[in-house]
Amino acid sequence: MTDASKDSIPALLVRNVPRGLVLGVDEALSTGANRAFAAAKGMAEGHLPHVVGQLRHFHMNEAFHRVLGTENADPTPIRGNGIVTGRSGVFTLARFNIPAGFWVNGRRSKTRRQMALANKAIEPLVQPGLFEGYEPPSDAVAFFVACFSGSLHEQPESPVSVQIAVPDKNMQGWLFREPLNEFLQRYEAAPSSQDDRATPKLKRDIGKQDKDGTGS
């Protein structure tokens, strides 16, 4: 068994989710939110919050789907109100929106609660004293959460913050959550090999020898 004290959820995220993907999601969710707000202009005040909320879902889902595809994170198809997910390393990645401070809203979705069950494997990283041991997970779940002002009169066009959040297995609490602008700094402190997935390839003629025994 692996000693949980030598690992952490942030380190696990950094190893499995490339910095470029996190940057792309941050930009994509803000772009989607801006498009949603622009599309809602002119609607009646009485139902404007509901219109904006619906349009955020569709525009932000599309933007999230695009960046997952660009970053080779294997996005699921877009289907109506369905949750779009991607895969990076051991993590299944998804997204949702909340009014700032209302994190309990994240567990309203039955699908998200089912997804969170995978995180039983990483709970020892937060509460090692409650478990017999820790094995590196083959599956885990993380969400990108866009937090919006509760009022359309205060920064309605974009999230007040976008956070990366890892729920417990019951989605009743959070094993880890952090604003993306802070989380991105973790890549600077991580070994460069964690963010470099390029596979070096030898040039075709390297290693071949000429007839006289010298290298080419």
* Span 96-110, pLDDT tens digits: 999 988 888 888 899
Q: CA–CA distance from 161 to each of 36, 76, 153, 164 (Å)? A: 17, 25, 17, 10
| Separation CA 115–CA 168 (nearest Å) | 10
The pLDDT, as a whole number, for residue 4 is 55
pTM above 0.95, yes or no: no
Instruction: Count other Cβ atoms within 10 Å, centred on residue 8.
Output: 14
Q: Which of 2-6, 117-121, 172-176, 181-185 has the lowest mean pLDDT?
A: 2-6
The predicted-structure confidence for 24-60, as pLDDT tens digits, reads as follows: 999 999 999 999 989 988 888 788 888 998 999 999 9
Question: Is 40 or 63 the better-scoring residue by pLDDT?
Answer: 63
pLDDT (average), residues 182-188: 96
Q: Which of 6-10, 93-97, 136-140 has the lowest mean pLDDT?
A: 6-10
For the chain, give the mean pLDDT: 85
Question: What is the pLDDT confidence band of residue 199, given thresholds at 50, 70 and 90?
Answer: very low
The pLDDT, as a whole number, for residue 45 is 78
pLDDT (average), residues 11-16: 97
The pLDDT, as a whole number, for residue 214 is 37
The answer, yes or no, to whether residue 197 has pLDDT greater than 80, is: no
The pLDDT, as a whole number, for residue 129 is 65
